[in-house]
Amino acid sequence: MITVRGLSKKFKAFEAVKRISFEAREGEVLGLLGENGAGKTTTLRMLATMLKPTEGTAEINGFDLLKQPDRVRGEIGILFGGEVGIYDRLTARENIRYFAELNNMEGSAIDKRIDELADMLDMKDYIDKRVGKFSRGMKQKVSIARAIVHNPKVMLFDEPTSGLDVTSTRIIHEFIEDCRKQGKIIIFSSHTMSEVEKLCDRIVIIHKGVIVADGDIPTLRKHFNNEDLEDVFIELVGGKR
């Protein structure tokens, strides 16, 4: 379980995230919905221990973000959106192995896990080839394998489908579904309503660093007396219908 308590982040005078609190549970996809610059990425970066909160903390499967950052990192896997950042001069196997080793995996367990992932993500044909000339979809699969090689219990997705074509987007969506089935805790940030509606069990709407709504989609629709989630979102962030 993830428990976020009064988490804040200030960059000089700018407060990107303001005392937010929420929870995420096993087998649940929590959508972090907000406009660009709302504070979604900053929140996920704090949960991944890449940024240190200015105030507040979070507990991830019992490990405190501030006191046990190394343990927290052992619990999480993170997938970023935009360009897939992998090492072009290494093979897919070497890329995945590098992250497995840095996540304290050893010996034959690594090879076994890589073979398992290659099978699961249908990468067997190119697992030992250098990734430089891979298609975007193939690279996306390598980055997924890299993120879950250490079998994390928590998956953080930071706008993972941003800029992806239909095929690559489907790979990600299927992967999120698999994670849900495996009972992982999933936080999925996005600004695309249809994607959030399709994948998430519950959503947290964040606007200018503040949580303006937290609940499951039917409850939000009922509360705002509107079937269209986009309208609900626009109403919450103060835009015009």
Partner 1 sequence: MNLKHVFIVFKKELIDMFRDKKTIISSILIPILIFPVMYGFMGFSTKKLIKDTQEKGIEVAIKAEDNNSSIVKFLKERKELKIVDADDAVGALRKGTVKVIIFVGSGFDDAVKDGKPVPLTVQYDDTNQTSTMGEGMVREIIGQFSSEIVSQRLQEKGIDPAIINPVNIIEKKLGPQNNQDNGMGLMIFSMLLPLMLAIYSASSVLPAATDNGAGEKERGTLEPLLTTQANRLSLLMGKYFAITVAGIIGTLASMVGLFIAQKFNPEILGQGNVFSISTVIIIALATVSLTLIFAALELAVSIYARSFKEAQTYLSPITIVAMVPAFAVYMIDPKNIPIGYFNIPIVNIVCIMKELIVSIVNPLHIIIAFAWAIIYIIIAIMFARYMFTRESVVFRV
Indicate which single residue of 1, 61, 68, 98 sits in contact with partner 1 (rule: CB under 8 A): 98
Q: Using CB atoms within 10 Å of the CB of residue 40, give its burial: 0 to 12 exposed, 13 to 18 middle, 19+ buried.
A: buried
As measured in angstroms, the least distance from the Cβ of 105 to partner 1 is: 10
Q: Using CB atoms within 10 Å of the CB of residue 227, give its burial: 0 to 12 exposed, 13 to 18 middle, 19+ buried.
A: exposed
Please give the residues from 41 up to 70 whose contact with partner 1 meets the rule CB under 8 A: 45, 48-52, 70
Answer yes or no whether residue 143 interacts with partner 1 by CB under 8 A. Answer: yes
Give alpha helix (H) positions in the chain. 40-47, 69-75, 92-102, 107-120, 136-148, 166-181, 193-199, 217-223, 229-236
As measured in angstroms, the least distance from the Cβ of 77 to partner 1 is: 8
Instruction: Give the nearer residue to partner 1 in terms of CB position, either 49 or 189.
Output: 49
Answer yes or no whether residue 138 interacts with partner 1 by CB under 8 A. Answer: no
Instruction: Give the nearer residue to partner 1 in terms of CB position, either 43 or 143.
Output: 143
Size of the site for partner 1 (CB under 8 A): 35
Q: What angle do CA 211, 6, 72 make, to 5 degrees?
A: 105
56: left (phi over 0), alpha (psi -120 to 50) or beta: left
**Distance of alpha carbon 118 from alpha carbon 64, whole angstroms:** 33
Indicate which single residue of 40, 113, 146, 184 sits in contact with partner 1 (rule: CB under 8 A): 146
Q: Cα separations (Å) of 184 from 27, 65, 225?
A: 5, 18, 32
As measured in angstroms, the least distance from the Cβ of 70 to partner 1 is: 6
Please give the residues from 14 up to 33 whose contact with partner 1 meets the rule CB under 8 A: none
Parallel/antiparallel/unpaired status of strands 63-64 and 55-60:
antiparallel
Answer yes or no whether residue 83 interacts with partner 1 by CB under 8 A. Answer: yes
Instruction: Give the nearer residue to partner 1 in terms of CB position, either 19 or 130.
Output: 130
Enumerate binding residues for partner 1 (CB under 8 A). Answer: 11, 45, 48-52, 70, 73-74, 76-78, 80, 82-90, 94, 98-99, 101-104, 130, 143, 146-147, 150
